[in-house]
A and B are shown apart, each in its own frame.
Chain A
């Protein structure tokens, strides 16, 4: 274990452990996601944030207060939030007349803004609207990207990186074969829309070792448009 060389030492062992955790590590754990609101928020956005938060638990945090933040002009308050809550990923939801149902997804490096993308939410159907048995919490999902645009356009490549970062939870060395229950698919239509679907995986018998995969739509349904 590396000894921390702080000028002011922590008085308790618990305090020392907390400070050690905040230092940069060689192997990093799952990235936390922070949800917060801008000046105004709409019903649709609130439900969407709540659903994503449920999906990302326990690696997520939701702030309920409204904040006077114009993120593309000044991102410093966002950096302060992320540093306080120790989350390198954030999603800001804001609603205004000129930019309705706006979602800004971004990430930080060393608590400085790395990149962010603004998306417009067109449609959303939550978890509750699907009558289906749900999966266990905190299982690592399989990610499927459909459409040639994910490899072609710069914006979509960037978005792909962001989505993988948000949904893949953490780097693992081995995965339980029974635990592969969740699949999320991201489809980029030629019109520039992004359709996100969430499925539960059911493994059926096939003639050989590898099972036949059947999907059942269990989760949220998002339609995003890149702003």
Chain B
């Protein structure tokens, strides 16, 4: 008991030597942003008299409170440095750029995803049997390695002996590059929703028969009469799926032939609809006519009242012209012939 007491006394004495870390104040602290906002009123007298000292004391108190919060946080040791893990920042600040939207997948990426194809990582160097050494597949020294391999190119059996195989290889490569570029641009157009015509032919040598057919159909219907008077070759067929961009150009298909009973019932239906016609009532016209008649009636009544009123007042105000009644509009008088 004595030992405990003495230890406590000792620690109390030691604590007295050091200054306290207590601050009796209530302020708003956002530890995530290392931010302290003190909304208590300022001592304006002290501000005027000795601003520096007052501000120093005030800031010291607030910083002490902030540090008290920081030192309560969980810490960990990274590379000999003690680091406190901060919570999420409460004070919201605007971003400098908008949040990026996820990019739509390209045609190949969608296909790969559907099929479950995963990209295999290839190493840069590969062993080549012909040259008996490691050559790079891309980048530095690739072209020189390829040139070494291509010191001679065999002319295949079925090829023209006068053809330049080297030029052919170069041309094939440039074609592949062009095709890749076209596909890349198509993917970009798809991603940005830019409409690109499907039927333009970029390279007539490489287009399929379908593409050519579609292009011909579209070209034909670009006349003033939508291709009605353009001649067709004997076995030429029109392309399908083009109707969206050639409205009115494609001919209507013939309806399938009907059986005799169906045809009979169809014709009878047409005859019925013609003969059983009842006068259709245009509701709006009827209502407005009714309203007009009511208004006329009222005006007639008022007119009959007015001469009495005028006699009383002594003829004040000019007489209004009576509105032309509906009856005078009718040309022929209903009910009968002209009497002789």
Contact = CB atoms under 8 A, between A and B. Distances in A.
Interface in A183-227: 183, 185, 187, 189-190, 195, 197, 199, 201, 203-215, 217
A143 interface: yes
Nearest to A187: B55
Contact of B38 (A144, A195, A212): A144
A108 B96 contact: yes
A190 B15 contact: no
B contact face: mostly helix, strand, loop, or mixed: mixed
Contacts of A28: 95-97
A140 B35 CA distance: 11
A213 B86 contact: no
A136 interface: no
Given A175-B83, A177-B82, A107 B94 contact: yes
Interface string B177-193: 00000000101100100
A28 B95 CA distance: 8
Contact of B68 (A189, A195, A210, A215): A210
Contacts of B84: 174-177
Interface stretch (A34-42, A44-52, A61-69, A165-173): A165-173
B34 to A, nearest CB: 5
Given A174-B86, A213-B64, A24 B98 contact: yes
Given A143-B36, A168-B34, A212-B19, A199 B59 contact: yes
Q: A2, A144, A172: which has the most chain B beta carbons within 10 Å? A: A144
A148 B75 CA distance: 33
A30 to B, nearest CB: 10
Interface in B39-58: 39-42, 44, 47, 51-52, 55-56, 58
B140 interface: no
A45 B64 CA distance: 33
Interface of B: 11, 14-15, 18-21, 32-42, 44, 47, 51-52, 55-56, 58-60, 62-64, 66-68, 70-72, 75-76, 81-86, 89, 91, 93-100, 103, 185, 187-188, 191
In order of increasing CB-CB distance, the 4 nearest A-B pairs are A88-B96, A24-B97, A207-B15, A185-B59
Interface of A: 2-3, 5-7, 23-26, 28, 31, 88, 107-110, 114, 140-148, 150-151, 160-161, 164-165, 168, 171-178, 180, 183, 185, 187, 189-190, 195, 197, 199, 201, 203-215, 217
